[in-house]
């Protein structure tokens, strides 16, 4: 074991530059009953040897046939799972010089004394596909006991900050999906949702920097699709996960997933309960200047945020296979989060000679109840010639009730009481989304696979802000902050997509059209007039993918893809509300926001499916960024169109198995971000180059024991007004398989407590500003997992894809 540990440490210190992969030739075959009849919809898994890692899975067709179009070279075998039959495992086969047809798999009746069959195989952590990279979460043991945000932070090319903002390949504007359905949240609400989603309920994460035309065009930086566990297996089965996590504070993520299928009925459910307790310790530094750039005054503030909450969530679905070709489905989802956010801050103000001027002590409380419910009804029908039509109808409801109480007390030196007041706010928000989507796909149309679809959606938001200021001897409505904003949006879309596979070349091209009509209405009050706006625009979004392999084995594969996308404003960003964090920091909406448009082109090369190198260029027009303005000593944060942003990124992603028991994965990225434009009364012209590297090593150190180390480093990065300093983190995890069904995992996150975010803000008129933020990132989590029931795969599960982009645009 000691020698293995030494080897593991050495491998973590070197780059995985020499990789030995095996992929390229197709693997085909048939599955039949003992009587020789074809077995339809059997699950076929392709394994590599000697470690039995599952490379990919597929289903048999009506003739019992299956095909892995780009299988593997080297030693492989298949396993077949079908209802009513014992598991079939083929003999090992060496694939190396040509496409391989395996011997017919003849299924056998199960042993009468065998009550269940358990199949154990390791999943590869990273799987690359033509249009996406797939992360298998169960193989990422360092995320055990963590959340969806922790999983994303350990995914190649993905970065998250302490506020929960997600970027991919250095670019903001990522659309987050769950089971092919967008999460209609952003900002604090999205971060809280991802923190409330336990990693234990996630099966895979799909990273798509340039999604095809079938996906909504929203999301300038691409789409991250989180797939939850919904194993469709015969009979009743499931799993439970119990977790405890301790840093400076204690928290817990617990979940259960259930599956049931019999005859024509298949049902599944996930439920989780989360206890949240976290903190953030934020230091702010501001220097106010005179017109001649000399210091006028100084501002130093420390704020300690404490967030405690409970989250209960559940998702359930049922599929009814009315005939061999028709399926009706229903999916319901509910998420309830109750949170109590308390922040205490002390702001010290100094004059130009750094002598104390005054002190503001604040105690702010915010109680939030967030409810998210959704309903999806879907239908799927298989037609002649393997054609298929699907339809989705979705209804989504978000309701947030927020009550704020911000108490501030002012003092003059030396701690002489000056004044005190309390600002109370009631902020209910409701969002209703309706969508209808139809897709048709037809393979083998003159050698092409053809798909076409249409979608319509309608969104209505209702936002109310009612603020009352309490001061000694007076109570008054604060009309500057009170508001009522209504917003409606309708989007109609249609797309067409073609793809074709040649011997060495694969081609896919698509075109999507979207028309948007939006209406905003700000109701007036005693101090502010009534106002309204209407916008309408129509756009086309082409996509193109080309892949060329130099030989039938696919030793070298070259790719080129192009796409145009849109980044529509989040619904709450259009809301002209002014929301205070304290007396010196406000968040405000912007009803004049325009959608941003992005074009991306990417060149790639893959060597033996082990080393993938890509070079991408992206340009955004009217890019939407957080903008900062300091006016009369008050810090205002608002989303704005800054003009043009360009991004150039070189990325290398690699896997290496130096020995049988060790896997090393490394990702490196070098990028440049340039922002040019104007906002408020100033201009912005920033450019900077950054580097990012992440790596992991996963070793089987003894029977049933797996050890994992992973970490990442990002250099200083420039993004519009913000310069964020370098950041690094190291994690360790260990897993022990107690039995075939029970597993114990322990994860030690941010071992050196290095994840401290530091930055400065530029392009401020007569002011400089910076910050340092720390949270409870160093912690230890222990997770116990237990699986029960059968593990024989069955009917294909349908993934609802109705409310495509709307659910990504809800912001808290």
Is the pLDDT score of 32 beyond 70? yes
**pLDDT at residue 203, rounded to an integer:** 85
- Enter the tokens of residue 264: 């024509």
**pLDDT at residue 10, rounded to an integer:** 40
In this predicted model, which residue has the larger pLDDT, 19 or 573?
573
Least confident of 237-241, 355-359, 713-717: 237-241
Is the pLDDT score of 791 beyond 60? no
Is the pLDDT score of 16 beyond 70? no
Is the pLDDT score of 392 beyond 80? yes
**Section 175-186 average pLDDT:** 78
**pLDDT at residue 162, rounded to an integer:** 62
pLDDT tens per residue, range 192-223:
778 777 787 788 888 888 888 888 888 777 88
**Section 135-144 average pLDDT:** 74
* Beta pairing class for 722-724 and 682-702: unpaired
**pLDDT at residue 116, rounded to an integer:** 40
Is the pLDDT score of 402 beyond 80? yes
**Rounded distance between C-alpha atoms, residue 196 and residue 142, angstroms:** 18
**pLDDT at residue 551, rounded to an integer:** 81
Contacts of 447 (CB under 8 A, 6+ apart): 500
Strand (E) positions, 19-149? 27-32, 43-48, 54-59, 65-68, 74-81, 88-89, 93-95, 100-101, 105-106, 126-128, 133-136
Q: What is the pTM of this model?
A: 0.77
- The three-class DSSP label of residue 362 is strand
In this predicted model, which residue has the larger pLDDT, 553 or 640?
640
Top-ranked range on mean pLDDT: pick from 24-33, 120-129, 690-699, 786-795? 690-699
**Section 400-414 average pLDDT:** 94
**pLDDT at residue 361, rounded to an integer:** 95
Is the pLDDT score of 811 beyond 80? no
Top-ranked range on mean pLDDT: pick from 52-61, 96-105, 228-237? 96-105
Question: For residue 590, which of 622, 554, 565 has the smallest C-alpha distance?
Answer: 622
Contacts of 266 (CB under 8 A, 6+ apart): 232, 259, 260, 318, 319, 321, 794, 795, 797
Is the pLDDT score of 173 beyond 90? no
Is the pLDDT score of 810 beyond 80? no
Is the pLDDT score of 266 beyond 70? yes
Question: For residue 358, which of 369, 371, 346 has the smallest C-alpha distance?
Answer: 346
**Section 738-764 average pLDDT:** 92
**pLDDT at residue 617, rounded to an integer:** 96
Average per-residue pLDDT for the chain: 84
Least confident of 257-271, 389-403, 415-429, 473-487: 257-271
Is the pLDDT score of 242 beyond 90? yes
**Section 404-425 average pLDDT:** 93
Cα torsion for 791, 796, 799, 800, to the nearest 10°? -130
In this predicted model, which residue has the larger pLDDT, 3 or 602?
602
How would residue 13 be classed by pLDDT, with cut points 50, 70 and 90? very low
- Enter the tokens of residue 609: 């499916």
- The three-class DSSP label of residue 669 is strand
Is the pLDDT score of 799 beyond 90? no
What percentage of the chain has pLDDT greater than the value 70?
86
**pLDDT at residue 385, rounded to an integer:** 75
**pLDDT at residue 17, rounded to an integer:** 31
Residue with tokens 């617990």: 254
Is the pLDDT score of 111 beyond 70? no
Top-ranked range on mean pLDDT: pick from 262-266, 706-710, 794-798? 706-710
Least confident of 70-79, 81-90, 769-778: 70-79
**pLDDT at residue 143, rounded to an integer:** 67
pLDDT tens per residue, range 580-599:
888 888 888 888 899 999 99
**Rounded distance between C-alpha atoms, residue 132 and residue 125, angstroms:** 14
How would residue 275 be classed by pLDDT, with cut points 50, 70 and 90? very high
Strand pairing partners for 408?
A: 362, 421
**Rounded distance between C-alpha atoms, residue 489 and residue 460, angstroms:** 7
pLDDT tens per residue, range 437-457:
999 999 877 878 899 999 999
How would residue 158 be classed by pLDDT, with cut points 50, 70 and 90? confident
**Rounded distance between C-alpha atoms, residue 90 and residue 80, angstroms:** 9
Evaluate whether 11 touches 5 at the Cβ level (below 8 Å).
Answer: no
**pLDDT at residue 793, rounded to an integer:** 41
């Amino acid at each position: 074991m000691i020698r293995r540990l030494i080897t593991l440490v050495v491998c973590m210190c070197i780059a995985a530059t020499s990789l030995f992969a095996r992929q390229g030739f197709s693997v085909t075959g048939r599955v039949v009953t003992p009587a020789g009849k074809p077995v339809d919809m059997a699950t076929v898994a392709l394994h590599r040897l000697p470690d039995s890692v599952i490379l990919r899975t597929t289903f048999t067709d009506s003739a019992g046939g299956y095909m892995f179009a780009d299988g593997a070279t080297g030693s492989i075998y298949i396993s077949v799972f079908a209802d009513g039959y014992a598991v079939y495992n083929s003999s090992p086969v060496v694939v190396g010089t040509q496409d391989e047809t395996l011997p017919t798999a003849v299924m056998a009746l199960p042993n009468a004394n065998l009550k269940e069959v358990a199949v154990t195989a390791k999943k590869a952590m990273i799987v690359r596909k033509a249009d996406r990279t797939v992360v298998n979460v169960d193989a990422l043991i360092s995320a055990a006991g963590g959340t969806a945000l922790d999983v994303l932070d350990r995914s190649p090319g993905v970065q998250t900050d302490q506020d929960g903002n997600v970027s991919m390949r250095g670019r903001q504007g990522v659309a987050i999906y769950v089971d092919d359905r967008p999460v209609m949240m952003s900002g604090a609400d999205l971060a809280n949702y991802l923190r409330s989603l336990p990693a234990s309920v996630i099966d895979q994460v799909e990273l798509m920097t340039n999604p095809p035309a079938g996906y909504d065009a929203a999301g300038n930086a691409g789409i991250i699709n989180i797939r939850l566990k919904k194993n469709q297996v015969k009979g009743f089965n499931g799993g439970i996960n119990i977790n405890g996590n301790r840093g400076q504070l204690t928290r817990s993520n617990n979940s259960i997933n259930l599956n049931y299928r019999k005859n024509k009925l298949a049902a599944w459910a996930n439920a989780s309960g989360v206890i949240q307790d976290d903190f953030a310790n934020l230091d702010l530094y501001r220097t106010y200047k005179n017109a001649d750039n000399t210091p006028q005054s100084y501002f130093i503030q420390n704020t300690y945020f404490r967030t405690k909450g409970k989250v209960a969530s559940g998702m359930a679905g049922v599929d009814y296979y009315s005939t061999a070709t028709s399926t009706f489905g229903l999916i319901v989802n509910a998420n309830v989060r109750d949170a109590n956010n308390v922040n205490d801050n002390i702001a010290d103000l100094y004059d130009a000679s750094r002598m104390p001027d005054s002190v503001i002590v604040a105690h702010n409380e915010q109680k939030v109840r967030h409810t998210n419910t959704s309903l999806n009804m879907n239908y799927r029908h298989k037609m002649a010639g393997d054609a298929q039509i699907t339809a989705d109808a979705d209804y989504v409801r978000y309701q947030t009730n927020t009550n704020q109480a911000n108490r501030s007390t002012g003092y003059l030196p030396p701690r002489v009481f000056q004044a005190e007041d309390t600002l109370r706010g009631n902020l209910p928000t409701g969002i209703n989304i309706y969508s209808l989507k139809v897709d048709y796909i037809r393979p083998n149309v003159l050698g092409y696979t053809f798909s076409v679809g249409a979608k319509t959606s309608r969104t209505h938001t209702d936002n109310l802000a009612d603020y009352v200021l309490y001061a000694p001897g007076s109570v008054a409505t604060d009309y500057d902050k009170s508001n009522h904003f209504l917003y409606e949006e309708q989007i109609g879309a249609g797309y067409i997509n073609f793809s074709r596979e040649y011997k060495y070349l694969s081609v896919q091209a698509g075109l999507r059209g979207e028309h948007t009509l939006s209406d905003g209405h700000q109701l007036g009050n005693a101090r502010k007039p009534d106002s309204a706006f209407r916008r309408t625009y129509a756009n086309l979004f082409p996509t193109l993918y080309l892949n060329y392999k130099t030989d039938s084995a696919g030793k070298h594969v070259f790719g080129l893809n192009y796409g145009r996308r849109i980044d529509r404003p989040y619904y709450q960003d259009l809301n002209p509300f002014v929301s205070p964090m304290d007396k010196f920091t406000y968040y405000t909406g912007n009803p004049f926001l325009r959608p941003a448009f992005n074009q991306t082109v990417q060149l790639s090369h893959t060597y033996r499916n082990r080393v993938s190198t890509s070079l991408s260029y992206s340009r955004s027009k009217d890019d939407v960024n957080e903008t900062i303005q300091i006016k009369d000593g008050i810090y205002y944060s608002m989303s704005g169109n800054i003009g043009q942003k360009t991004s150039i990124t070189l990325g290398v992603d690699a896997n290496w198995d130096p020995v049988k028991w060790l896997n090393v994965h490394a990702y490196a990225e070098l990028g440049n971000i340039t922002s040019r434009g104007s906002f408020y009364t100033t201009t912005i012209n920033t450019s900077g180059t950054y580097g990012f590297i992440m790596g992991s090593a996963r070793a089987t150190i003894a029977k049933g024991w797996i050890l994992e180390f992973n970490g990442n480093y990002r250099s200083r990065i420039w993004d519009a007004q913000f310069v964020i300093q370098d950041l690094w983190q190291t994690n360790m995890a260990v897993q022990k398989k107690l039995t075939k069904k029970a597993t114990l995992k322990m994860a030690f996150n941010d071992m050196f407590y290095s994840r401290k975010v530091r930055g400065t803000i530029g392009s401020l008129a007569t002011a400089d500003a910076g910050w340092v933020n720390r949270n409870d990132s160093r912690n230890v989590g222990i997770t116990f997992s237990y699986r029960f029931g059968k593990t024989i795969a069955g009917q294909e599960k349908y993934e609802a894809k109705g409310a495509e982009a709307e659910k990504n645009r809800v912001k808290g």
